[in-house]
Structure formats: C-alpha cells, structure tokens
Amino acid sequence: MARREVGEINAGSMADIAFLLLIFFLVTTTMDVDSGIARKLPEKTDVQPDVIVKEKNVLDIVVNRNNQLLVENEYVKVTDVKGLAMKFIDNGGGLGTPIDGKPGEPCDYCGGAKDPNSSDHPTKAIISLQSDRGTTYGMYVSIQNEIEAAYNQLRNDLSLKKYGRSYDALLQDYNDNPTESLKVKIDDLKDKYPQIITEPEPIK
C-alpha cells in the first residue's frame, strides 16, 4: 500500500496574520498613565519662624477625612473659601508691618471692614491650611486654588486702581516683553498682598 505524501503547510500567511494582530492590539490597547493635577506652589515668603503672630492674624482652615471644610470652626463650602479669605486678608484692622522697630502705617489701600478682631494688615494676614491624612488630593488642591484665587483677585482689584490694568494682564505683558517698569509694578502688588500660607502637620 502506497504511503500518501503529507502536503506542506504554507506558513507565510500565518506570519502576515500574526503581524496584523500585533498591529491591531498596539493600536487599540490603552495604557494606564498616572495622572495628576497641575498646581503652582505657594510663593516663597520672608516670614521668620520666630516671629510672634497674633491669633487674629491667622485664618484657620481645616479639612477633615470626610472632606468637610471648617473655617474658624464653622462648616463652609469650598466655593466660600475665596470670599472668606479675601475678607480676612483685606480687612486692614490695624497697623502695617513695623519698619526698623517702629509701628507700620495703617493699610490705606485695603477695602475691608477694618474689624479689630480680624487681621491687622495684608502683610500680616496668614492663612493656615490643615488637612487630614484621609483628605482626598482633589479636595486639598481645590482649597489651595480658592486661596490663590483670593490673592489674585485682591491684586487684580488694586492693580486696576493703581495702574489701569489687572495683575493678570501685567503678568502676561511681562511674559511677552519683560521690562523693569512692569517688574516694579508686579513686585509692588505682591508686596501689598503677599501670599502667606502655612500648612501644619496633617491630622492623624
């Protein structure tokens, strides 16, 4: 009985199929990429660690593990932080920063209520933000953004009064064409409303 020859398998088309499958999976597969939130860090300040700070010059903001927000021990919403921070920073209830040991001048550019129980001067107003170890990152960043928005709004308002242009517009002008005159204006606004934020150790 004659043996039948087994025909050879053409493997050329298999390679083509494997290559097409590889291309297909490379195109359609999604990769998990770590994502984050863009956040500008608070500005560096020249506050000395041994300076005695009055309690009324500190605005206490605390967020717990349930993302509940307390400002001066009262529950508030995140959207309320900007207004409360602006009211506190711009209060102008006392004298400015002492110079050479002499009392400073009252804040002549503040538009606040001048409440004697609130901050004395924008250069003395400190915002304390304390979070919990269980606080979500998104909540923490949202609060930081509201605080920064408060400082920017105050600078914008003062800049419009003094220079006829907003603080944001001056920054954009400086980025496009850095000049000494623009830098002087920007530094002046930053000095008038310095961003002073402290962050105590998170609550365990």
Whether 47 is covered by a domain: the verdict is no
Task: Give the dihedral sign, CA 147/201/58/194.
Answer: negative
Could you tell me the pLDDT band of residue 152, with boundaries at 50, 70 and 90? very high
Whether 10 is covered by a domain: the verdict is no
Whether 24 is covered by a domain: the verdict is no
Whether 127 is covered by a domain: the verdict is yes
Could you tell me the pLDDT band of residue 11, with boundaries at 50, 70 and 90? low
- Phi, then psi, of 113 in degrees rounded to 5: -80, -10
Cα 21 to Cα 56: distance, rounded to the nearest angstrom? 68
Name residue 102's beta-bridge partners: 99
Whether 4 is covered by a domain: the verdict is no
Task: Record the tokens describing residue 173, joined without a space.
Answer: 């002008």
Could you tell me the pLDDT band of residue 10, with boundaries at 50, 70 and 90? low
Cα 182 to Cα 165: distance, rounded to the nearest angstrom? 11
Whether 44 is covered by a domain: the verdict is no
Residue type, 126: I
Residue span of the structural domain in which 134 resides: 58-198
Whether 161 is covered by a domain: the verdict is yes
Could you tell me the pLDDT band of residue 54, with boundaries at 50, 70 and 90? confident
Q: How far apart are the first and last CA of the chain?
A: 88
Whether 134 is covered by a domain: the verdict is yes
**Could you give the number of structural domains in the chain?**
1
Could you tell me the pLDDT band of residue 30, with boundaries at 50, 70 and 90? confident
